[in-house]
């Protein structure tokens, strides 16, 4: 899988699951829209990531890392409430975010190796 595909899937999961969390809650909180906002911004960066725009890719990685850190508290809250569906939603968002980060890192390493190989010729 390419980094842009992993990022697209992650953005869609963040948007979908964030909206689901808000709609499914008995006492909805606007903080459920935080992943939605991050997902929307990451989604707008998709074309730049696909074109391998270095700056756009680094911005997307930064946002992806920030949302990963930001999902820790909702996971703690869901575990504290003993809400298995909320735990599952947050875990899926965390997993998709980690997968996106892994593919971004792999992409950066591949580009660096290609440049080194080209320079060695």
Assign 28 a pLDDT band (cuts: 50, 70, 90).
confident
Assign 119 a pLDDT band (cuts: 50, 70, 90).
confident
| Predicted model pTM | 0.87
Q: Residue with structure tokens 């725009």?
A: 53
Assign 32 a pLDDT band (cuts: 50, 70, 90).
confident
Assign 34 a pLDDT band (cuts: 50, 70, 90).
very high
In this structure, are residues 5 and 99 in contact, taking their beta carbons and an 8 Å threshold?
no
Mean of all residue pLDDT scores within the chain: 91
Q: What is the mean pLDDT of residues 29-58?
A: 92
Q: Residue with structure tokens 């980060």?
A: 101
């Amino acid at each position: 899988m390419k980094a842009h595909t992993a990022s697209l899937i992650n953005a869609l999961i963040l948007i979908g699951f964030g909206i689901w969390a808000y709609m499914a809650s008995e006492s909805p909180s606007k903080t459920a829209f935080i992943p939605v906002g991050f997902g929307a911004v990451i989604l707008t960066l998709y074309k730049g990531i696909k074109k391998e725009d270095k700056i756009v890719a680094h911005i997307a990685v930064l946002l992806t890392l920030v949302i990963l850190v930001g999902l820790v508290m909702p996971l703690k809250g869901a575990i504290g409430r003993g809400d298995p569906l909320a735990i599952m939603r947050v875990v899926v968002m965390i997993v998709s975010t980690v997968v996106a980060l892994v593919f971004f890192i792999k992409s950066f390493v591949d580009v660096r190796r290609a440049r080194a190989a080209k320079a060695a010729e």
